[in-house]
Amino acid sequence: MEPTFYHVRRVIRKLPGEVIREIPIPTPEVTEGFGARRNIGAICRGLGARSVLLVTDRTIRGLGFHEAVTESLEEAGIPCAVFSDIDSEPTVEIVRAGQRAAADCSADCIVALGGGSVLDSSKIIAAGAKTPERDAAHYLTKFAYVKGGTLPMVTVPSTAGTGAEHTVGAVVMNERGVKCSTVVIGLDVRHVVLDSELTVNAPVSVTVWCGIDAMSHGLEGVLADVKSSDEDAEKSRACVRLVLENLPRLLDDPHDIEARQNMFRAAHYGGNAINRQLAGYVHAFAHSIGALYHIPHGKAIAHCLLPVLSVHRDLPAPSDRLAALAVSCSLADPGDDRRAAVDKLFSALKALLDRCGLEHGCSAIREEDYPQLVKMIDADSINYSPPKTLGDGEIRTLLDAIRKGD
């Protein structure tokens, strides 16, 4: 059965790359800088907004980070209601409440301020608010089409990692407690605000693992077997370059505002990679290991990064792209041979992970869980277009490498 199933997977894996090319991708304007969220009133006025729903979470509201937004909207003469009930694991019930809040204030624009959970929930709220006759659960399908587009959105990420401020995907839990990954067709993100003030006092662990997550999006974008423009390819390379250059600066000085802002730019470019080039096996492994052993996503990514990337070192096309990435990051010279350039890239990645304090190996992984993990990784990876399809035996070998830190 393995060879037949393997070949079926190879064929199916071409489909996501073809599908994503047909999905409208948001092309928002970007405002960035320390305190940039104070421009949201002017931004919304420029969009013609007459009533705004600000979606955030209790932590952001408790810290008072939302006040600069509400004050800016007040100065612009735009009424604003605040919905701050988003949880770290958002549910369809919470999204329904957000949809009602949008209706109650007659919102014609959604401002989303927060991390991935807030940003994802806001996408479904913006879809539901545009079509109030539909229940929010209607949009928790693989592909959710919103005729005419969602309400216009202004998104303000509070972490520099996911890139979810403009990705078309959203994850919300349905009434059965199942996390539903949805592609919102018609997502109307008009403006993204990248404000380093939101992360300047973030815990080191949040800075580190969000940064590694952002870098992984760029790395997998570079490797993806998806046709993309030269501009998109350069953004993926820039994502990796910015993290390699700026994350060590933040480990030295957490209040380095320029480095904070550069990390937001890296995460934003990483979001572009997800939209245009999709993820790959690093994410399939990290999603599965993180879910089974309750490991934070960014840290799971860090454990999986080098072992999974190593699969591509000797494949001609992927290794060519990795060598070009090494040159782009000033880690190798254009005259270096391919293997030497790739080795320099891997050395730099390992040095960064060591600097971030990643322990050697992932001791949480148990060999007796391999059959379950293989199934989970197979199922997750079907959503991506990596340059190589892994057989189950190769997946087990990589699980060994991740567990032992090889």
> 3-state SS string over 131-185?
CCCCCHHHHCCCEEECCCCCCCEEEEECCCCCCCCCCCEEEEECCCCCEEEEEEE
Is the predicted pLDDT of residue 172 greater than 70, yes or no?
A: yes
Q: Using pLDDT thresholds of 50, 70 and 90, give the confidence band for residue 5.
A: low
The SS3 assignment for 365 reads: coil
- pLDDT higher than 80, residue 3: no
Q: What is the 3-state secondary structure (H, E, C) of 167-180?
A: CCEEEEECCCCCEE
Nearest-angstrom CA–CA distance, 347 and 135: 50
Give phi and psi for 109, each to the nearest 5.
-155, 140
C-alpha distances (whole Å) from 334 to each of 287, 308, 330, 331 are 35, 25, 9, 10
pLDDT at 225: 85
Q: Which of 106-110, 172-176, 191-195 has the lowest mean pLDDT?
A: 172-176
Task: Specify the amino acid at residue 207.
Answer: T
Asked if pLDDT for residue 2 goes beyond 80, the answer is: no
Range(s) within the chain of domains with CATH label 3.40.50.1970 = 23-32+35-198
User: What pLDDT is stored for residue 385 in this prediction?
Assistant: 84
Q: Where in the chain is the domain with CATH 1.20.1090.10?
A: 201-404
Give the mean model confidence (pLDDT) for residues 377-402: 92
pLDDT of residue 8 exceeding 70, the answer is: no
Residue 402 near residue 362 (C-beta atoms within 8 A): yes
Fold of 23-32+35-198: Rossmann fold (3.40.50)
Q: Give the CATH superfamily of 201-404.
A: Dehydroquinate synthase-like - alpha domain (1.20.1090.10)
List, for residues 101-134, the tens digit of each pLDDT value.
999 999 999 999 999 999 999 999 999 999 888 8
- How much is the mean pLDDT over the chain? 94
Residue range 226-267, pLDDT digits in tens: 878 999 999 999 999 999 999 999 999 999 999 999 999 999
Digit-coded pLDDT (tens) for 66-81: 999 999 999 999 999 9
pLDDT above 90: residue 37: yes
pLDDT tier for residue 20 given thresholds of 50, 70 and 90 = low
**pTM to 2 decimal places:** 0.94
Whether 269 shows a pLDDT value over 60: the answer reads yes
pLDDT of residue 278: 87
Share of the chain above pLDDT 70, in %: 95
